[in-house]
Amino acid sequence: MTKRCPLGVLVSGNGSNLQAILDACEQKNFPAEVRIVISNKAEAYALERAHAKGIATAVVSHGEFPSRGAFEEKLISQLESSKVDFVVLAGFMRVLSTRFVRHFAGRILNIHPALLPAFPGTHAINQAWNYGVKVTGVTVHFVDEGTDTGPIVLQEAVALDEKESLESLEEKIHSVEHRLLPEAVRLFAEGRLRPEGRKVRIGDPS
């Protein structure tokens, strides 16, 4: 069996993107495995998804620490103790500091429900729908020290119908997310992502 690249997943909520990763990891020859799922919210349903698959979990509540630095040091400690090779943000609703990003430089992937650089930050689906765009989409990118500014790994466009509701757009976006994020995880685990400044080349498996 192919050696699997260990990853840690940070979550804050329902965890449907985590579920997509967990399901992908059950496929034969998928090159990654989830070692730990960490949430900043004890009530996050994503933790139940991890428990159901027998994956280790941890709750690191930002409200229990005197500073963001102390909070992130605990996150780093948990991830390092699980010996992960890279980190995936799957609906993790906290902005990570330079300290965290530099510790895992080039090893953090994030998924964003818009075609970056359009609509960065929170509530991107609502922003796109309210703006009246004809096309939006999903982006997976490396995390850098900005907000949704890292080099883009994968993108897929989503067209809006003339009578698109916010709810139907959300369903379309989530469907794409659940395909795109596991694909990006696979490419990273296979050593195929080659960042070159702003661009990310996809090469042959290393």
Q: Which residue numbers are catalytic?
A: 112
**C-alpha–C-alpha distance, residues 42 and 23, integer Å:** 23
Who contacts 91 (Cβ-Cβ below 8 Å, separation ≥6)?
11, 12, 13, 14, 15, 16, 17, 18, 46, 111
In terms of C-beta distances under 8 Å and separation of at least 24 residues, what long-range contacts does 195-198 make, across chains too? Answer: 195/106, 195/142, 195/151, 197/151, 198/151
In the 8-state DSSP scheme, what is residue 143?
-
Closest of 71, 90, 68 to residue 13, by C-alpha: 90
109, 188 in Cβ contact below 8 A? yes
In 10 A of CB 50, how many CB atoms? 24
CA 10, CA 62: separation in Å to the nearest integer? 13
If you count them, how many residues does the chain have?
Answer: 206
